Structure 1
């Protein structure tokens, strides 16, 4: 297809393509084009003006009544719009039904497919549009842990029905999609009163015209949602539980099974779940916070598990005893546990700041911790902080507590259960369910050491050190805590495929016969008949003896590989091709071989990292989260922008600010601050210099919220580098802002992302590809554009507390914030 710059020229030439003087017009209009462009234009004009042999049947495909229309012995079914386009095409092309006419008819605005695509484009921004849009594009929001699931397949299908509310006259409606237990219809709302929860009868009059279905037998439904869009009203209906009609059930089941390939299954929920889960996998393994999973025992919180990530292991390393047991659970002693549980029961915000350190004496590790309130009450702030800040183990955490329901740990993949997929996750086993049932609360510990350190005392009285014994943890652990690693399922460069093929392996002077187990373009897994020595990164040469019999001229003998890892018995090895030139010839062959044999080579699906228990803890965290992940994209034109924001279930002033409607605060103001400020340029510059193994880059953002003379909301932002934080600068910024306005303070921890974790969403990918490959392509393009992720969370109360502002000033700031952020 020619590029868009040639489209106006093609539109002119196709109208004179059948004229005798076409060549004259062509030469005149294409005089400035080069040879290849002329060829493209001529080819496209010929294609569009060629006769079309297709038969048009637009019944159930357009918003209009279709009637029989005959042309040159061929019968078409067209609505008024299509007939008008058809007849105009005949006039333009001398009575010939051309490919151009056909394409214009199929792209008419009343075509359901076109309408659906336009509606989807309005609801969600596609990755392709995001990639080509400028940085003023509004960021998209999604709910953490939101994976809409449908137990039944919902097919896009249009058929006439009659909807009859009880006590009202029936009215005509048209289905939008249909499933075994539900229905979505389009109706003129003025025809009848409708509301959520209302019971209605539905008569499938359209089906009765084509199938042996009694149109006088109603099916009972309950209205679940009424939505107005594109000047139309859509009603979502759920089958009434007491409606039993086995004949209709069997018909719908057969109908959807037989026609779903033609009319397409509605996969919107699968696409939403896929995108949400894939973005969360960029974010969750890069969190710096410590997440504790707690069991309530006689009003004391016992830490059962700690979720570890690649960015929080250093913080957790300070919490191991001399016997290598995890002691972080002792932070929440009985008094602190009761205090936090009581606040939750009163529906109050439950945030505390706690300072910790440890010392080693006579071969034992002693842990100390104190709440800010405890130090202020006992007048020990300077002594505790001055002594603790000298220790390498000194840490300050902001603790938040949330209650969770263990049953929400299991979330099925967004694929109907009856669909068989290799990557299907099974419900948790009884052992895993029992382990998860012990979790009643989740505590998140945000590391705010960099913010608290400037506030620490500079000197202490040695005579007062003995008073710190009040904050030492008891020597015996209340109960052992277990560290659970949250990591990526698969960060492979390439897809691997099963292949059983004999080979010969040589390591040094030792030669063994073996079997190829699986292959990729650059990798290999082999199993030898007897153990063979070989260290990681050492050389191993492989000859593909069985493949060589079929590909005699290919470089398949004595290929140099490098050992990545081996099993304990040293009989199974994961290998990767050496990067020298001779090995690349083999890589090219394997690439061709996989492409040719892809249909016969089963793909490998693994779920080895996020096993059931780790997955359950991951899902429970999503229910307890209060932090906001920010996702930064890089377009094909190397443009960077904030494209997506995850909204947590627990509301904070920061998440409320991000969700403000344009009626309250034009989003352009907030987008301008986050996408066009100098801090954004610093973030993008840092991301381009580092890789995903780099520790997060940390900043403190202070948003000043106020009103202008016309009483319109205003917002300004000041940022600080936490590694170079100056308490005087922060205090000046905050006190000046609080003279007439209020503030929101946010910690931002920025990390570079790696490749998307496609294996975690493999089931959704497979299902989506079966019905809408273009959606898979769109999602993959969006995921490949993710450039960086920032973990952001509110520290407003911590800033107020740390600066020791007067109680009246803090109350005034809170009151102003409540007025500025509408409920």
Structure 2
């Protein structure tokens, strides 16, 4: 009997198999079949409804992310589609996991074998079933450091406000000086508030008067997480008796409890996504002192074109673009953004830069038309967006999530050198062909270009800007370590007592007590490691051959290296390699290397702390690609409403933004063809919103085809509410540098190895990043100026 032809009948009878009236209903429904056919059909129904013990494991079998699903103590591995189908079939099979459910879940629409049998690609299958883009939100500024370990403790407590309001809550972790609690989100508690905490749960277990009195705490952090208000509390000068009780309690309780590593997990996530974001962000981070003078710029492999554009034959012009007068004017507001329009003019082989801000041009419409009309016809025409936020040296402080970690002296020195930094900015190139076409079509040159001389940057003094690489790369082949020991330098039959200043496996720096005038670059000298010779017998450390690669003017400090043709047999290289390997934890890197890295780390801290542009990260599991994390910082973004973030569960719902017109699938399909660190052409998205900021309609740039249709869409959108213009810059991410978070990951492994493995897999599965850049100000500025120009021309014709 062909059961596939009777599938409708089988589906109708399955819910009745275990019903008392089944035989009567079955006989009536199958009266047209022969006795043998009825027997076979009943056996098939019994087989499908029989309880099943087999585990459903769809990992690698479906186009989707699989996760653990526990049903009555049995673990299955399902994706979202299979889970939805599983729950539907449970109702059909009387809430018994049966063979029919197992078989049905092996043939879902996104099963690779099913798609291959039906000749359907994963992209086509995704289009048919629609796409759900929901991702957790990671606040890059919420980096929680702790001086001590905390144990997990779930116990009832009571919070008492300064006004006497009592709020029931539950503790989640506890240490000598801190406490984390969860309570109903209806209680509005802000950072800095003072609370008295009574430990009701512990009072019932321990008869101790200090618990009845409670302890005063202040709120260090307050946020909504998983639909609960979560408070981080720090004790206010607890009494000795309270501290002694906690010490005794925690010592006895620790053997029965686990260490809370949630803050460490958060730190690894921030460090992992931070390195992807900072290395791929298209904007140029800039750092200004209290006088509005540009001091530092943070370079990565993507933003170098901005640095190159603003560099002429001699120096950088960024300090003239963002001169102290402009910065002091901008800093009247704590946070904001402004556009800069620029072009260059070459006269007698000298390049002159012209730049004007959007606020400067808005004050003079005729000058605005001239600047746009003349400048946009220059090949060097660019439009930049500058975002800024007030900052302090505390925002750059090195915060370790590890307990009892001392901050390196070199990092403190770097922060001391940055104490004057009070404003952080991001300069992003937002030039694109569509806006260029509008400038050239709608704005003509009707006045003398000489009127633009006021925007010539030559009028401002040039400023040296410290160029810092986002991740300091050691230009030497190997690290150099501080180590002082006596050696003897032999040259032309003479012996010169010297002392090493630093060492590496292939070279060393030595300092002579007296000038050695007959040494020059490329001289061959011999070094005897006299202080080691008596202690080391396995190496010949007498009169080792070295080449001089550099020396100071006074002929007292010399940089030496092992001759290239003798590296493999050189006893000095073999000895120092072993010495460094065996004592690496005791040797210190040369200060200039550590100081440079500390400076870079401090400057990077501001980028992730404020995170002006939101970034969406994609992950890859087997052949499936999905959105996995949205990152944001403390700085508000004009695009935040578009991401539809539910602050109660910290998830962003991106269907309306990326799910329409197969945009997400289109972008992922292009990224699949790329290698690491490669990017696709930016995608401009025009979005119509209602007055509440909800997305009504989206249009991709290519769908509007020309500037006229684009302007019409924008005007229509403005009639119904507002419009947003977003550029999505998609790039393949590189390999993560495990050194960024290795210590934290090792700490987590010692207490929760499965969580550490999950975290490592999450970061290593990162596939691509979408950076969202707001172009709305430029586009609306163009339309406003164009409308004003049209009205002026109509008025002049009427008057004529």
More deviation, 420-429/468-477: 420-429
Q: Distance in 2 between matches of 1:271 and 1:495?
A: 32
More deviation, 798-807/304-313: 798-807
Q: Distance in 1 between matches of 2:723 and 2:260?
A: 45
The residue that corresponds to 1:293 in the other structure is 287
| Preserved CA contact (<8 Å) 1:497 1:602 | no
Give the counterpart of 1:252 among 246, 252, 272. 246
The residue that corresponds to 1:155 in the other structure is 150
Count of residue pairs brought into register by the alignment = 621
3-state SS of paired residue (1:276): helix
| Preserved CA contact (<8 Å) 1:149 1:413 | yes
The residue that corresponds to 2:382 in the other structure is 395
The residue that corresponds to 1:611 in the other structure is 598
Cα shift at 1:397: 1.3
Cα shift at 1:703: 4.0
The residue that corresponds to 1:678 in the other structure is 666
Give the counterpart of 1:745 among 714, 725, 744. 725
* Within-5 A mapping of 1:174-185: 176-184=172-180
3-state SS of paired residue (1:468): helix
2:626 pairs with 1:641: yes
2:457 pairs with 1:473: yes
Cα shift at 1:423: 11
3-state SS of paired residue (1:657): helix
Give the counterpart of 2:754 among 764, 769, 774. 774
| Preserved CA contact (<8 Å) 2:615 2:631 | yes
Q: Distance in 1 between matches of 2:456 and 2:632?
A: 38
User: How has the CA–CA distance of structure 1 residues 238 and 285 changed in structure 2, closer, same or farther, with 3 Å as cutoff?
Assistant: closer
Q: Distance in 1 between matches of 2:358 and 2:226?
A: 55
TM-score calculated relative to the size of structure 2: 0.59
The residue that corresponds to 1:220 in the other structure is 215
* Within-5 A mapping of 1:160-171: none
Give the counterpart of 1:313 among 304, 307, 330. 304
| Preserved CA contact (<8 Å) 2:133 2:653 | no
Cα shift at 1:322: 4.8
3-state SS of paired residue (1:310): coil
TM-score calculated relative to the size of structure 1: 0.58
3-state SS of paired residue (1:329): helix
3-state SS of paired residue (2:659): helix
The residue that corresponds to 2:776 in the other structure is 796
Q: Distance in 1 between matches of 2:165 and 2:444?
A: 84
2:135 pairs with 1:143: no
User: How has the CA–CA distance of structure 1 residues 194 and 293 changed in structure 2, closer, same or farther, with 3 Å as cutoff?
Assistant: closer
The residue that corresponds to 1:34 in the other structure is none
Q: Distance in 1 between matches of 2:224 and 2:287?
A: 43
User: How has the CA–CA distance of structure 1 residues 287 and 175 changed in structure 2, closer, same or farther, with 3 Å as cutoff?
Assistant: closer
Q: Distance in 1 between matches of 2:392 and 2:765?
A: 35
Give the counterpart of 2:261 among 258, 264, 267. 267
Give the counterpart of 1:655 among 640, 648, 652. 640
| Preserved CA contact (<8 Å) 1:322 1:363 | no
Give ranges in structure 2 of 5+ residues lacking alignment. 1-72, 74-125, 484-499, 513-518, 523-532, 539-548, 569-577, 789-800
Q: Distance in 1 between matches of 2:787 and 2:726?
A: 21
The residue that corresponds to 2:122 in the other structure is none
User: How has the CA–CA distance of structure 1 residues 325 and 367 changed in structure 2, closer, same or farther, with 3 Å as cutoff?
Assistant: same
Cα shift at 1:361: 3.5
Cα deviation 1:724-767 (Å, max 9, x = unaligned): x9534533543455565643211222333222133333443344
Cα deviation 1:96-127 (Å, max 9, x = unaligned): xxxxxxxxxxxxxxxxxxxxxxxxxxxxxxxx
Q: Distance in 1 between matches of 2:776 and 2:401?
A: 41
Cα shift at 1:179: 0.6
Cα shift at 1:416: 5.2
User: How has the CA–CA distance of structure 1 residues 720 and 642 changed in structure 2, closer, same or farther, with 3 Å as cutoff?
Assistant: farther
The residue that corresponds to 1:302 in the other structure is 293
Q: Distance in 2 between matches of 1:721 and 1:311?
A: 28
| Preserved CA contact (<8 Å) 1:185 1:236 | yes
The residue that corresponds to 1:4 in the other structure is none
Cα shift at 1:456: 3.5
User: How has the CA–CA distance of structure 1 residues 215 and 683 changed in structure 2, closer, same or farther, with 3 Å as cutoff?
Assistant: same
Give the counterpart of 1:758 among 727, 738, 758. 738
| Preserved CA contact (<8 Å) 1:768 1:776 | yes
Cα deviation 1:764-811 (Å, max 9, x = unaligned): 334434433433332222221122223322111211222447779xxx
Q: Distance in 2 between matches of 1:379 and 1:169?
A: 62
The residue that corresponds to 1:379 in the other structure is 366
Q: Distance in 2 between matches of 1:460 and 1:327?
A: 28
Flag the structure with larger Rg. 2
Cα deviation 1:322-361 (Å, max 9, x = unaligned): 54254543445747853x455x27xxx8443322123343
Give the counterpart of 2:426 among 444, 456, 475. 444
Cα shift at 1:668: 3.8
User: How has the CA–CA distance of structure 1 residues 615 and 390 changed in structure 2, closer, same or farther, with 3 Å as cutoff?
Assistant: same
| Preserved CA contact (<8 Å) 2:684 2:728 | yes
| Preserved CA contact (<8 Å) 2:343 2:381 | yes
User: How has the CA–CA distance of structure 1 residues 331 and 222 changed in structure 2, closer, same or farther, with 3 Å as cutoff?
Assistant: closer
Q: Distance in 2 between matches of 1:202 and 1:485?
A: 50
The residue that corresponds to 1:70 in the other structure is none
| Preserved CA contact (<8 Å) 1:319 1:328 | no
User: How has the CA–CA distance of structure 1 residues 362 and 239 changed in structure 2, closer, same or farther, with 3 Å as cutoff?
Assistant: closer
Cα deviation 1:30-85 (Å, max 9, x = unaligned): xxxxxxxxxxxxxxxxxxxxxxxxxxxxxxxxxxxxxxxxxxxxxxxxxxxxxxx9
Q: Distance in 2 between matches of 1:194 and 1:741?
A: 34
Q: Distance in 2 between matches of 1:764 and 1:379?
A: 58
Cα shift at 1:246: 1.3
3-state SS of paired residue (1:611): helix
Q: Distance in 1 between matches of 2:410 and 2:265?
A: 16
Cα shift at 1:658: 0.7
* Within-5 A mapping of 1:569-718: 607=594, 609-612=596-599, 614-635=600-621, 637-661=622-646, 667-670=654-657, 672-673=659-660, 676-686=664-674, 688=675, 691-692=676-677, 694=678, 696-705=679-688, 714-718=696-700
| Preserved CA contact (<8 Å) 1:487 1:609 | no
3-state SS of paired residue (2:636): coil
Give the counterpart of 1:355 among 332, 341, 356. 341
The residue that corresponds to 2:416 in the other structure is 430
